Amino acid sequence: MNHKVHLVLLILLIEIPALCAQSVRTLDSSALFISGTSDYDTYRIPALVTTGKGTLLAFCEGRKDDGGDAGNIDILLRRSEDNGKTWSEQVVIWDDGSNTCGNPCPVVDEQTGDIHLLLTHNLGDDHETDIIHKKSESTRTVWAMKSSDDGKSWSAPKEITPTTKKKEWGWYATGPGIGIQVKHGPCKGRLIIPSDHSYDDPGGKVRNGPFEYGSHVIYSDDHGDTWKLGGTIRPKVNECQVVELADGNGTLLMNMRSYFGKNKRTHAISYDGGLSWTAPYTVDELVEPVCQASILRYRWPGGEQPGILLFLNPATSGGRRNMSLRMSLDEGKTWPFIRTVFPGPSAYSSMTVLKNNTVALLYEGGTANPYEQIIFHTLKIGTDD
């Protein structure tokens, strides 16, 4: 399969009264990571951010063997300084031998320019089920790295488990995807990393045991020097992404993978910077096959223009396929606009905003299964005005 995969898509016009004629069209698409190359069996768990200098950083897991979420897994990075037209060779930024270095979740501190990368780690022989059941040799731990030179070099991983994970929790994941920095309200400047965990629950049925999944955040108020555990969201939710709502108070919306058996996404709201959350509630429009998804603020409201939130996931209740982009003009209350981005098998994703009304997507996709490639895809939203 060629490293360059050009997708032929129609120019899609969306009638949005408040925005006049709003268009969404593909600019380019290419495979950044191709399974079976560079000594890696599989590439998974994409994460994509734009630095303060406009550089694109594309992270993922490089899995040496077909061991699922455990085994010999490294953290990889590619950089682009021209909006994704060309890319650096992939580099390994964390390799711990046969152990698992996973779940890259970056966040850019717009005040300092630093990029913080939150991650998890476990022994390669410790699998998720054993970690959840507390039968593993060790457990899942939480780590942080930092770059102060636009992603060219990275600090050594620093463990932050004691301040970000409760001792009674089992499985733990940062993201997958990206974090945010709060822009408004009393928590302005706070770095937020959406995360999830497993916990003991006598009524739970996760991995055939008395366990359940929950979501939570970890946060930093000192530009990543220290990280603390925020509020939890329970039950039956895990992998999550977060956006700030446009009320000026720093209100947060969490979008979560759901285990309520409805094949629909779940939301929760925080009014205190992630320290506490409302009870999870189902979002009927956001259909899912139980899979990770991405949510992103594309635009803040201003003048006569409403804010825009974007949501990306395999939009089907029957299998991971049909990667689709949805749009909300009312801060996530409704999602009336949807367009297919990649109709084939597809799974995890990440998004970031570029200049000139462009959004960049990074998602898993393939022909026979979703894990053949991680694809970089740019879309133009609106006009060039």
Residues annotated as catalytic are 69, 239, 348, 364
SS (H, E, C) the chain: CCCCCCCCCCCEEEEEHHHEEEEEEEEEEEEEEECCCCCCCEEEEEEEEECCCCCEEEEEEEECCCCCCCCCEEEEEEEECCCCCCCCCCEEEECCCCCEEEEEEEEECCCCCCEEEEEEEECCCCCHHHHHCCCCCCCCEEEEEEECCCCCCCCCCEECHHHHCCCCCCCEEECCCCCEECCCCCCCCCEEEEEEEEEECCCCCHHHCCEEEEEEEEEECCCCCCCEEEEEECCCEEEEEEEECCCCCCCEEEEEEECCCCCEEEEEEECCCCCCCCCCEEEEEEECCCCCCEEEEEECCECCECCEEEEEEECCCCCCEEEEEEEECCCCCCCCEEEEEEEEEEEEEEEEECCCCEEEEEEEECCCCCCCEEEEEEEEECCCC
Amino acid making up residue 103? N
135, β-bridge pairs: none
List of residues 6+ apart from 120 with CB closer than 8 A: 100, 102, 103, 140, 141, 142, 143, 172, 173, 174
